[in-house]
Amino acid sequence: MKRTGQKLLMFDRKLGARFVAGADEAGRGSLAGPLVVAGVLLDYACLKEHKVRPLTYLNDSKQCSEEQRAELFHAVLGCAEKVVVRVIPPGDIDRNGLHRSNLAGLRAMLHALAPPAEACLVDGFRLGPSAPEHTAIVDGDTKSAAIAAASVIAKVTRDRLMRRMDALYPQYRFSSHVGYITPAHSAIVRQRGPSPIHRRSWRAQCYALAPLTADGSCPAEPGSAVGSAR
């Protein structure tokens, strides 16, 4: 496992701020389940020597195994000044739209951390004038420690929620794909129809009887982005 944490921490330290907040989400490309947004506040006056060692292997959650994410989850909780999470249920996503729900959630995370945050970072998206002053960083979860920490918190939280949903809806096998689009997940949805936690406004062709694509996944809707394990 690469010692990526030092590079990410250095990126934040170069901002010259003591308190750095990062925000990220998990579940944006999912077919079922909530969108989870997280915010992490790091106090760089305290992150020194032994206190920063647990973040040695901090990285974008997508680059980590499930076991590595679990370890980093506890490391972030132990090192961060503050951690905040919001779970946005499928019904809210259907009513308000995925992108709007995502931006609102990320804004809420930064508002919860600033102040005392002196620098606010978010992965990818500008959040508009109603958000605290912030910087949007493309692929920020591979560059900033605060954003990477938020990505880990969001991903682990969401995966745990989806595995609990597996007990309620075992026929959908949420424990294996945690709601993302896979050939097996698409086939089950075509056979049984959507569950109460499937999103109705995203990749709706998965619920129709039209043929799947060659790889067994759902055809992309016009204007939609391809789903990812995000």
Res 151 pLDDT > 90: yes
Indicate the SS3 state at residue 43.
strand
- What confidence score (pLDDT) does residue 208 get? 67
Mean pLDDT of the chain: 89
Rg, Å, the chain Cα set: 18
Structure tokens that stand for 175 in this block: 């424990």
CA 137 to each of CA 46, 146, 178, 219: distance values in angstroms, whole numbers, following the listed order: 24, 12, 27, 30
Q: What distance in Å separates the CA atoms of residue 173 and residue 188, rounded to the nearest whole number?
A: 9
- What confidence score (pLDDT) does residue 224 get? 40
Percent of the chain with pLDDT over 70: 88
CA 79 to each of CA 20, 49, 75: distance values in angstroms, whole numbers, following the listed order: 13, 12, 6
The residues, any chain, with a CB within 8 Å of residue 25's CB and separated by 6 or more, are 35, 36, 37, 38, 102, 105, 106, 123, 154, 230
Sign of CA pseudo-dihedral 42, 46, 51, 55: positive
The residues, any chain, with a CB within 8 Å of residue 161's CB and separated by 6 or more, are 33, 34, 36, 87
Q: What distance in Å separates the CA atoms of residue 157 and residue 180, rounded to the nearest whole number?
A: 15
Band the pLDDT of 228: cuts 50, 70, 90: very low
Q: What share of the chain is helix, strand, coil (3-state, %, to 5)?
A: 45, 15, 40
Band the pLDDT of 202: cuts 50, 70, 90: low
- Measuring CA to CA, which residue among 83, 216, 210 is closest to residue 152? 83
Check residue 32 and give left, alpha or beta (phi > 0: left; psi -120 to 50: alpha).
beta
- Predicted confidence (pLDDT) per residue in 17-68, tens digit: 999 999 999 999 899 999 999 999 999 999 987 888 999 999 999 999 999 9
pTM listed for this prediction: 0.89
